[in-house]
């Protein structure tokens, strides 16, 4: 006879999640799917908190998934209650999302994550399984995750997939140095982006003819540095594009219901449907801050543009990776200039100075990670897909092993996944050098940095 689990027994999974926006998005999606999900975070009212705890401690909780912050997991109050739930045999699993936050070498280090080692030490007899998940763990961060969480190497199973995304075309666009007079910089960059979009529109129209009007707009994301810039650029993109683009700002400052509306409109099969008689825009773009957007989950994003260079290599891979999740052709474009590079470096020094509690290693980690962004953008001698694999530690991860079943026909050790899908492989070194000269001449570049090989 098959030994089926008893589905009448209610069992709870606790999910540790670092971001309120991410938590809210996931909780709302699960609720809509009919999953018994609850959350306790800084926005939870006293009454709701009481209700959730009463349910958790009743011996047969109706809640199946409980989302909490790492900070809550640090409190004695929560720990005591969690131990009771465990003693009652109701805790089936703990899942730690964005687990790279545990490492000072991770790009989003959160001190409260370090205290999660308590879970492994105390949720025993019987041992509660712990799952740690991340999309951005270099080998060093992965070791930290195992050590700090106190995971048992004997019983540990590791699964990793390579970071290469052969369907994404990677390209860097160099910005001229406007140090003397900055007033024309934004216009010039905007025109550059609009020309790129126009070229895509023209190609699409010549391929599809009149059928093009039946198609929904092409979805894209433009990442910017600040909320104000998100608002400003969204408005400029919409107003300067002769109805080619509809753009909306999307950041943590936008009210939650409006944000949900923007997301659902953008995700629907005909996003930004115009009123009768109006022209359908070719592009539907979300202009988002890089601090926000983990909740963005749309498989058919065709391009991700970084208006300014990303502050860490891990965020770059994560953000550009939101393009082409459906496996179809997509593009990643990074605008890069010397002024912005220097500005970001200064900001990293300033920010890490004001967060001294994170320790000197965190500053070093942040600078090293931005160093990879610089090398990725300034290199004119290597395929960008290869650079991503190397910087992300794919080769080392392959050596560390994975229990993930091999995908049929997919080699994880291929030296380069690029088939003319980056600007280096398409334009060659000379072509890139010529474009990079606009930013700074070859001689200046040689003085700024040793050449990257
Ligand atoms: Zn390439």
pLDDT tens digits, residue range 410-450? 444 445 568 889 999 999 999 999 999 888 766 666 666 55
Quote the ligand 1 centre to 297 CA distance (angstroms): 26
Number of other CB atoms surrounding residue 210 within 10 Å: 7
287: nearest Cα among 220, 381, 214, 205: 220
The whole-angstrom distance between residue 163's C-alpha and the CA centroid of its chain comes to 13
- Which residue is associated with the tokens 């890139």? 432
Quote the ligand 1 centre to 418 CA distance (angstroms): 5
Quote the ligand 1 centre to 421 CA distance (angstroms): 5
Quote the ligand 1 centre to 284 CA distance (angstroms): 28
pLDDT given for residue 256 in this prediction: 74
pLDDT given for residue 84 in this prediction: 97
**Three-class DSSP category at 213:** helix
Q: What is the pLDDT of residues 33-82, one digit of tens each?
A: 999 999 999 889 999 999 999 999 999 999 999 999 999 999 999 999 99
Quote the ligand 1 centre to 334 CA distance (angstroms): 15
Q: Quickly state the pLDDT bin for 362 (edges 50, 70, 90).
A: confident
Quote the ligand 1 centre to 149 CA distance (angstroms): 37
Helical (H) or strand (E) element with 334: strand 330-336
Q: Which residues, 6+ apart, have CB-to-CB distance to 83 below 8 Å?
A: 122, 123
pTM for this predicted structure = 0.79
Quote the ligand 1 centre to 425 CA distance (angstroms): 4
Q: Quickly state the pLDDT bin for 22 (edges 50, 70, 90).
A: confident
Q: Quickly state the pLDDT bin for 8 (edges 50, 70, 90).
A: low
Quote the ligand 1 centre to 178 CA distance (angstroms): 29
Quote the ligand 1 centre to 414 CA distance (angstroms): 13
Give the Cα separation of 12 and 3 in Å (integer). 21
Quote the ligand 1 centre to 333 CA distance (angstroms): 14
CB 238 within 8 A of CB 230: no
CA distances from 165 to 385, 408, 420 (A): 8, 16, 13
Q: Where are the alpha helices (DSSP H) in 98-174?
A: 111-114, 117-122, 139-149
pLDDT given for residue 442 in this prediction: 64
225: nearest Cα among 174, 175, 290: 290
Give the Cα separation of 256 and 252 in Å (integer). 8
Number of other CB atoms surrounding residue 341 within 10 Å: 19
Quote the ligand 1 centre to 133 CA distance (angstroms): 29
Quote the ligand 1 centre to 134 CA distance (angstroms): 26
CA distances from 3 to 13, 90, 442 (A): 22, 20, 70
Report, as an integer, the average pLDDT of 154-175: 88
Quote the ligand 1 centre to 424 CA distance (angstroms): 6
Quote the ligand 1 centre to 215 CA distance (angstroms): 31
Q: Which residues, 6+ apart, have CB-to-CB distance to 304 below 8 Å?
A: 220, 221, 222, 223, 319, 320, 322, 323, 330, 331, 332, 333
């Amino acid at each position: 006879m098959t030994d089926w689990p008893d589905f009448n027994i209610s069992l709870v999974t606790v999910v540790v999640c670092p971001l309120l926006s991410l938590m809210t998005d996931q909780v709302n999606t699960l609720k809509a799917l009919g999953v018994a999900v609850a959350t306790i975070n800084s926005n939870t009212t006293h009454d709701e908190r009481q209700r959730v705890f009463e349910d958790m401690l009743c011996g047969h909780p109706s809640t199946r998934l409980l989302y909490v912050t790492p900070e809550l997991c640090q409190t004695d109050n929560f720990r005591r209650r969690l131990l009771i739930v465990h003693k009652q045999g109701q805790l089936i699993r703990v899942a730690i999302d964005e687990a790279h936050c545990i490492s000072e070498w991770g790009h989003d280090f959160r001190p409260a994550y370090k205290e999660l080692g308590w879970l492994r030490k105390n949720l025993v007899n019987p041992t509660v399984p712990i799952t740690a998940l991340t999309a951005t763990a270099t080998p060093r961060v992965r070791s930290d995750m195992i050590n700090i969480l106190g995971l048992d190497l004997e019983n540990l199973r590791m699964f990793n997939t390579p970071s290469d995304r052969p369907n994404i075309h990677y390209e860097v666009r160099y910005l001229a140095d406007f140090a003397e007079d900055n007033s024309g910089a934004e216009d010039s960059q905007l025109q550059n982006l609009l020309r790129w979009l126009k070229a895509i529109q023209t190609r699409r129209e010549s391929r599809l003819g009149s059928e093009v009007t039946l198609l929904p707009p092409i979805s894209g994301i433009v990442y910017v540095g600040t909320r104000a810039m998100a608002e400003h650029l969204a408005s400029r993109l919409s107003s300067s594009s002769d109805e080619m683009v509809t753009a909306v700002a999307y950041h943590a400052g936008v009210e939650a219901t409006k944000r949900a509306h923007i997301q659902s409109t953008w995700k629907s099969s005909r996003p930004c449907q115009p009123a009768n008689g109006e022209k359908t825009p070719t592009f539907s773009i979300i202009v988002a801050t890089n601090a926000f957007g983990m909740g963005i989950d749309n498989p058919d994003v065709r391009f991700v543009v970084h208006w300014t260079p990303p502050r860490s290599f891990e965020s770059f891979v994560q953000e550009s990776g939101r393009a082409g999740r459906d496996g179809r052709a997509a593009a990643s474009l990074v605008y890069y200039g010397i002024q912005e590079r220097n500005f970001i470096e200064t900001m990293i020094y300033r920010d890490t100075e004001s967060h001294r509690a994170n320790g000197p290693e965190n500053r070093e980690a942040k600078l090293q990670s931005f160093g990879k962004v610089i090398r990725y953008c300034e290199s004119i001698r290597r395929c960008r897909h290869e650079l991503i694999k190397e910087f992300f530690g794919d080769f080392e991860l392959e050596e560390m092993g994975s229990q993930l079943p091999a995908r049929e026909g997919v080699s994880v050790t291929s030296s380069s996944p690029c088939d003319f899908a980056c600007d280096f492989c398409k334009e060659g070194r000379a072509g890139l050098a010529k474009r990079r000269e606009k930013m700074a001449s070859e001689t200046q570049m040689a003085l700024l940095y040793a050449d990257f090989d």
